[in-house]
Amino acid sequence: MNIALVLSGGEGTRMGAELPKQYCTIAGKPVIVHTLEQFEQFDEVSTVIIVASPEWEARIWEWKAAYFISKVQAVASAGSNRQLSIRNGLLAAESFMKGRQGGVIVQDAARPLTSQELLTRLIQGLQAAPAVMPVLPVTDTTYTSRDGEWVDGLLDRNLLFSGQAPEAFHYQPYLELYRQASAEAFAATSGSCQLPYNKGWNVKMIPGDPGNLKITYPGDLEICERKLLERKRPV
């Protein structure tokens, strides 16, 4: 049994919009609905938990009914940072997993373009490792700078990869990791794979998708809308 956590607690401050980016409307639907539809179509995931600010919970249930998103089973409260939001979502999923073995996919609500092929690669990756992360190779020459003004080093880009969401994990060990982690560990952690990696887990990299855009800036809304409309256009 596999479940998905959709993290929707961000405020989208870089967007400069009145609404958080994941609740803006593109291609006729809120961004988060497009993201949820990825899992509605994905047979390997049976249950979706949304992690969101409490003031959005009623609207989320309205969208579930309006857009026939049957797999959404719970809305957990977002934490003050990504790691606490993940923990809240994992704890909310316990009653659905009921001690059973399976995987959990951790997704950003603001990624409406994730493909079925990428989700499939994630689940397949869990057969070989407890943590799986899509990555893209870094293609630009990359430098280091301690002060942000002067170059003081050059990195070998052949060793560098950019991580993407969603990421996938063995649910029970991942839950225990987050249940036992300290506030200090959470404060020093950003990505979903960072905590397990710091604890010695083997993190498997799989090919990411350049089209798996996360909406961050206003222009990203237009790009995602255009691509969503292109997908629906008859061939």
H-helix or E-strand spanning residue 75: strand 72-77
Express each pLDDT in 69-128 by its tens digit: 999 999 999 998 999 999 999 999 999 998 789 999 999 999 999 999 999 999 999 999
178 SS3 class = helix
* pLDDT at residue number 96: 94
Identify the CA nearest to 135 among candidates 191, 47, 210, 43. Answer: 210
User: Residue 190 is which amino acid?
Assistant: S
pLDDT at 12 over 80: no
pLDDT at 235 over 70: no
* pLDDT at residue number 14: 53
Cβ neighbors of 161 (< 8 A, separation 6 or more) are 135, 136, 137, 138, 205
Q: How many CB atoms lie within 10 A of CB 25?
A: 12
Q: Give whole-number Cα distances, 148 to 70, 140, 155, 223, in Å.
A: 48, 18, 15, 30
Higher pLDDT: 141 or 235? It is: 141
